[in-house]
């Protein structure tokens, strides 16, 4: 896959219309960014996998992937400015995610980036799995992004940049999107 001629920033509203990401399913090219804008009350943006929609990728990956986590982002109901969390797209593989607030994922608060809508692992199937899970999974409060937050770069890693503009200020972290395949 080749990068987009002009990278695009895709905006996804988090919780602006109840327990949802709006839009909940987007297509993004290599080099594009996705900015999640948080609305009241307290939500997360947490990467998961298709088969485990309400658990962080860190908990379920069998290849060492860590995934991104915004941490909990509380927003007052009277807010006029909204905190953001941004990821950069490094490839066109599907990205699955959910809100880690208790009960939100099981209520269908999930999103996808580059889901293959013509196949069985599409957004509707992902959301149905989340709603069937009944899981009240929660996400940790540490902010990280598209996979590893260690200072050393894992083998076979591709760089990504995650930026979080939270109430405490702007935090930027260089992240490695882990594509580690075990040689065991």
DSSP labels, 119-141: SSS-HHHHHHHHHHH-------S
pLDDT in tens, the chain (184 residues): 566 689 999 999 999 999 999 999 999 999 999 999 999 999 999 999 999 999 999 999 999 999 999 999 999 999 999 999 999 999 999 999 999 999 999 999 999 999 999 999 999 999 999 999 874 444 433 333 333 222 222 333 333 444 444 433 322 222 222 222 222 3
Measured distance CA(146)–CA(67) in Å, rounded: 5
What phi-psi label fits residue 171: left (phi over 0), alpha (psi between -120 and 50 degrees) or beta? beta
For 165-171, which contacts have Cβ atoms below 8 Å and span 24 or more sequence positions? 165/83, 165/84, 165/85, 165/86, 166/73, 166/83, 166/85, 167/83, 171/143
Measured distance CA(111)–CA(14) in Å, rounded: 10
Which residues are within 8 A (CB) of 158 and not within 5 positions of it... i.e. 6 or more apart? 90, 91, 176, 177, 179
For 121-126, which contacts have Cβ atoms below 8 Å and span 24 or more sequence positions? 121/50, 121/94, 123/24, 123/25, 125/50, 126/50, 126/53, 126/96
Measured distance CA(74)–CA(87) in Å, rounded: 19
């Amino acid at each position: 896959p080749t990068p987009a001629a002009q990278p695009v920033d895709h905006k996804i509203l988090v919780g602006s219309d109840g327990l949802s990401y709006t839009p909940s399913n987007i297509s993004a090219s290599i080099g594009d960014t996705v900015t999640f804008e948080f609305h009241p009350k307290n939500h997360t943006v947490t990467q998961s996998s298709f088969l485990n929609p309400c658990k962080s990728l860190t908990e379920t990956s069998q290849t060492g992937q860590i995934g991104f986590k915004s941490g909990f982002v509380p927003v007052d109901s009277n807010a006029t400015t909204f905190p953001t969390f941004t990821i950069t797209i490094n490839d066109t593989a599907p990205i699955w995610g959910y809100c880690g607030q208790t009960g939100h994922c099981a209520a269908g608060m999930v999103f996808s980036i580059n889901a293959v809508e013509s196949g069985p692992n599409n957004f509707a199937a992902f959301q149905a799995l989340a709603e069937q899970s009944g899981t009240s999974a929660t996400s940790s409060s540490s902010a990280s992004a598209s996979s590893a937050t260690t200072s050393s770069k894992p083998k076979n890693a591709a760089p990504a940049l995650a930026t979080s503009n939270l109430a405490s200020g702007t935090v930027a972290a260089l992240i490695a999107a882990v594509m580690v395949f075990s040689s065991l």
